[in-house]
Structure 1
Amino acid sequence: MGHKLSVLALIVAQAAVVAGPALAAPAGEFVIAVHQEPQDLAAQGAYKEINAPGLRNVLEPLIATDPATGEYIPVLATSWERVDDKTVRVTLREGVKFHDSTDMTAEAVAAAVSFVWNPESSFTIQEYAGPGVMSAKATGPLEIEVTSTEPDPMLEFRLTLTGISSAKQIEERPAEHFSHPIGTGPYVFDEWVRGQYWTANANLDWWGLNAEDAYGEATPQFETLRFVFRPEGSARNAMVRTGEAHLATNPSPEDCVAAEDNDGYSCVTGPSDAYLYGRLDQSLHAHPALQDIRVRKAIFHALDYEGIADLIGLASVPQGQLGTPDMLGFNENLSQYEYNPDFARQLVEEARADGVDVDGLVVEVVGRSSTPRVGSVTEVIGFFLDQVGIKTEINVQLPDVFNPRVRIKGYVEEAPRAMMQVHVKQNASGEFGTNMLGNYACPNIDDPSGASRSSVHCNPEFDAKLATALTLSGDERDAALKELVGFLYGQYPIIPLALLDKGYLVGDQYNYTFGVDHRFLAVNVTPKQ
């Protein structure tokens, strides 16, 4: 029925445990200390936990990834099947209501899917768009067809990202959609106090209470969820240590060591689908020196990747690409770029001797303040580059400042510029195709909402081969993506800095299960008995 994910997605995090018996009724408040406030609470944010932590407790997708098996499982859909290479037919669950009491009809779901994936909506989920434009239409009272304008073997995956929200709200009160989510989930949105927290209350009319195939613990365990925004790791740690919070995201290795000696809470960790990278701007609007491959090559070989991984903690060195060996398209012939400062200096000198303006180049190493340890990582990168003769400027910015700068509109406004964006990225697809479309396809200055709006790379030959690869499936897709990964390796556009594990500090009175996508779902938290 569903598409099967990669081997990595089959690994459940070490926190997975046997749940205790369900409570008769929800009681009390469960507090989660998160490292970033949501950018907004629009339905499209359900695709990426880091941008809207906890949103999937309110807004549900049609299908989801089971944290213990990696298989696709039904949520608001009960089944789905391929019609052709552009279309998936989805059968919807009967008797589901949105939190505004409107019925979840086929027309409502089709409208929600089309709204989220419409390029004119300009949502960030477009970074996970396929080769075509997705839309949906009702084909029966509880049946829809989701279609791409181009062949797309990843349509089912994209449906796991799509939050389904009230069509009535989208039509009648669209502005409220961004701050007051109305979904179908086990919790109903309550309030968002900017800069402090957002809350949701147990939905005693949730469809999962009476469904045999409900995901997680069907009976709501908590009366209220409270997501408290604490960008400082020490503050999140203190909240769990004192019992003010029951779970905290993104602990440091030191926090996990400290948890071993403290009663009352533990650190649980597991693999993730996230990585840290340095997007080195060589786009249409970059500083001319960065268009010289020797300068880019020098930057890549100036960095001590093992040292950076050790600094981050809960991280490992990538194999020269933004993914792991289980992913479709992984190129096993590649290795991580060698740390060789002498070679980097030689390349800089060769470029300077040929008239490249290396001395006028100042690379801004910039990160988003919500990225764990970004201050230390950017400083270390700056140190390594300075050692080989490349000047740097270190900058850490709040999300509302950083985010617009990594879009194509920001590139144009600041051109020409030299920037390395140190950033955490997730790739839940289990393959390299989506990764490439969002990071490496040539940006279009006339389409600030397109999938490649954050790309720092532009090569028409690559774009043509990628367009073909994205229409393929199976071994053909794997081989085509593998070839493109190898091509990119020699172009030096984006530095794979580290593969990231993720962890949590969790109160000892709770069991918590999570998968490699690390989405927080309250139905996966159960009190110990």
Structure 2
Amino acid sequence: MPRPPRTAWLAALMLALAAPAAAQEIRLGVELFPNSLDPHWHNFGGNKAFAPHLYEPLVALDARQRPTAALATAWTATDPTTWRLTLRDGVRFHDGAPLTAADVAHTLQRAAAVPGSPSSFAVYLRQITAVETPDARTVVLRTATPFPLMPVYLSQVPIIRATAATTADFDAGRAAIGTGPFRLTGWSRGESITLARNDAYWGEATPWARASLRNLAQPSTRVAALLAGDVDAIDAAPPQDLPRLSADARLRVASLVAPAVAGFHLDVTERAPPGIRGNDGQPLAHNPLADPRVRQALSLAIQRQAIVDRVMGGQARVAGQFMPPGAYGHAPGLAPAPFDPARARALLAEGGFPDGFRLTIHCQNNRFVNDAQICQAVAQMLTRIGVRTEVEAMPHATHVARGRNREFSFWTGLWNVETGEPSAPLVTLLGTVDEARGRGQFNRGRYSNPAFDALLDRALGELDDGARETVLIQATEIAFRDNALIPLHHQMHLWAHRTERQFTPRMDGYTRAMDFR
């Protein structure tokens, strides 16, 4: 048998040598990108998805949102108002400093009070009245009342070094030092992040010597980058492109029903409502959405299954509450609102608007799958019952800033259930606004119901899981029967990746280099 030419042999050898090196890097194209490297600055999905590369919590949530040991190996309620946590031995930060209880105490104090935070982590920490560190490996947390969700809430708070670092220090990279499986090597705000494997990591080593994340906010851009081989995987794969991606032998598609609900917020207060006018184009003195009959009319006008089928390409599940069927806290008696335009018109008339009114939906156009298209579809549905509706779409960052200023009356939202149970969204989105108690952090529609608040108080102090679920279901039923929010559907998390990469999808939808093999 003749020997191959020397040039061909050398080319093959070089390719073989290069292959392992190429396999050492994972390149991700992601929809949501961190707006800060400070893990406590903004309680926002883009930041929380990225943070685990660099930082870790005391208790982690696994791919199915079940608590598991991370920097703490044990946590015990020693009495109804005391939690005792044991820290993992041998953990070091990226700069070589050992993890101690002092770092945990510093983190829990700082995370609740970061200057300039657009949405604080205080909601997870407000119940802690004292932090004690009897030794370097032990942390004791005191609460004023029983707080059974402490381990789950601690899963949302990344631990940092006990230094006086500011958000600017983190964003400059100087303080972006955690205990996680990767170290920071570069960050271009809004564009890209590069990481290197932390060879001193206490846990299972990632197979990737390097990882890069690119901010590809537009669906078409993500798909194009994947097809061109510029990235190995993308998240938020657009449903309309799934047939093409699935048919490509180079690619695989992964999906998972998400504990994330797309829907609408409503301002329910008695005030001159921004974005709502009479049919004559003049401002209204009173807000139609303060009337629960009008809110119900808008909900009944929406043909949810049509949105799932036509806009989402079947890649969603109609929703009537935060939790999907079978999940902890799901209210089985609370069905999604039916499509009933005749009843919707009757309710508008009962609410004093037989001829409807004019409404603007303030919509995000880069926050969740098909957000702008969903708004357009809903606008047409509402117009058919006499509510002449227009859409004003904008980037998520603009939407957040204007929403904080309460410039909207009816606007889009994506409600992530990040703790595997509904207490956090019930507290932050629907609890009566009370800054001192950490309630209503994102309740910009100012919904307030004393009966709901009382049930929430009971649930948050109930140590028995079954009894707590019963009360959470009761609270859920009150708020959603009030149409305090209008849910549309549970999203499907959708990813696409190259076949030579194996991927474990997560219920929270986070796209992390550690989850690829």
Which TM class, normalised by the smaller chain length? 0.7 to 0.9
Is residue 385 from structure 1 mapped to residue 382 from structure 2 by the alignment?
A: yes
2:325 is matched with: 325
Equivalenced residue count is 479
For 2:9, the equivalent position in structure 1 comes to none
Q: Deviations over 1:215-248 (max 9, x none)?
A: xxx2332222111011111111111112110010
CA distance in 2, matches of 1:81, 1:24: 45
Q: Structure 1 residues 30, 392: CA separation in 2 closer, same or farther (over 3 Å shift)?
A: same
Deviation at 1:496, TM superposition (A): 1.4
In the superposition, the TM-score normalised over structure 1's length comes to 0.84
Q: 2:51 aligns with which of 55, 64, 81?
A: 55
CA distance in 2 between counterparts of 1:476 and 1:161 reads: 24
Match of 1:500 in 2: 491
Q: Is 1:441 matched with 2:437?
A: no
Identity of counterpart residues, as a percentage? 23
Task: Write the mapping of 1:87-126 to structure 2, written as runs, cut at 5 A.
Answer: 87-118=82-113, 122=117, 124-126=119-121
The CA distance in 2 between the partners of 1:395 and 1:489, in whole Å, is 26
Distance in 1 of aligned mates of 2:126 and 2:71: 25
Query: Residue 450 of structure 2: which of 432, 455, 460 is its match?
Result: 460
Summarize the Cα distance change of 1:315–1:300 in structure 2 as closer, same or farther, 3 Å threshold. same
Task: Identify the residue that residue 215 of structure 1 maps to in structure 2.
Answer: none
Secondary structure of the residue aligned to 1:183 is: coil
Contact 1:42 1:179 in 2 (8 A): no
CA distance in 2, matches of 1:241, 1:174: 37
- Separation in 1, partners of 2:184, 2:504: 23
User: Is 1:186 aligned to 2:181, yes or no?
Assistant: yes
Residue 135 of structure 1, CA deviation: 5.6
- For 1:286 and 1:185, the matched residues in 2 are separated by 49
Deviation at 1:166, TM superposition (A): 1.8
Gapped runs of 5+ residues in structure 1? 1-22, 209-217
What is the CA distance between 1:394 and its match in structure 2?
Answer: 0.9
- The answer on 1:423 being equivalent to 2:410 is no
Q: Quick check: 1:406–1:454 contact (8 Å CA) kept in 2?
A: no
**1:115·1:121 contact (CA, 8 Å) conserved in 2?**
no
Q: What is residue 294 of structure 1 aligned with on the other side? A: 293
Give the CA deviation at 1:183. 0.7
Q: Can you give the 5+ residue segments of structure 2 that lack an aligned partner in the other structure?
A: 1-18, 274-286
| 2:474 is equivalent to residue 483 of structure 1 | yes
Amino acid of the residue matched to residue 259 of structure 1?
A: L
Query: Hey, what does 2:15 align to over in structure 1?
Result: none
Instruction: Report the RMSD for the aligned CA atoms in angstroms.
Output: 2.7
* Alpha-carbon contact 1:123-1:449 (below 8 Å) kept: no
| In 1, Cα distance between equivalents of 2:353 and 2:51 | 54
| Corresponding position of 1:156 | 151
Please give the alpha-carbon distance, in whole angstroms, between the structure 1 residues aligned to 2:33 and 2:485. Answer: 27
Partner of 2:341: 341
Worse overlay, 256-265 or 116-125: 116-125
Take 1:352 and 1:102, find their aligned partners in 2: how far apart are those partners? Answer: 66
Name which one, 1 or 2, has greater alpha-carbon Rg: 2
The answer to whether the Cα contact below 8 Å between 1:256 and 1:267 also exists between their aligned partners in 2 is yes
8 A Cα contact 1:99 1:188, kept in partner: yes
| Distance 1:145-1:24 versus aligned 2 partners, 3 A rule | farther
Greater RCO, 1 or 2 (C-alpha within 8 Å, sep 6+): 1
Match of 1:176 in 2: 169
CA, structure 1 residues 441+157, in 2 after alignment: closer, same or farther (shift >3 Å)? same
Which residue matches 1:401?
Answer: 398
Aligned to 1:34: 30
Shift of 1:175: 2.6
- SS of residue matched to 2:342: helix
2:367 is aligned, of 347, 370, 373, to: 370
Q: What is the Cα deviation at residue 366 of structure 1?
A: 2.0
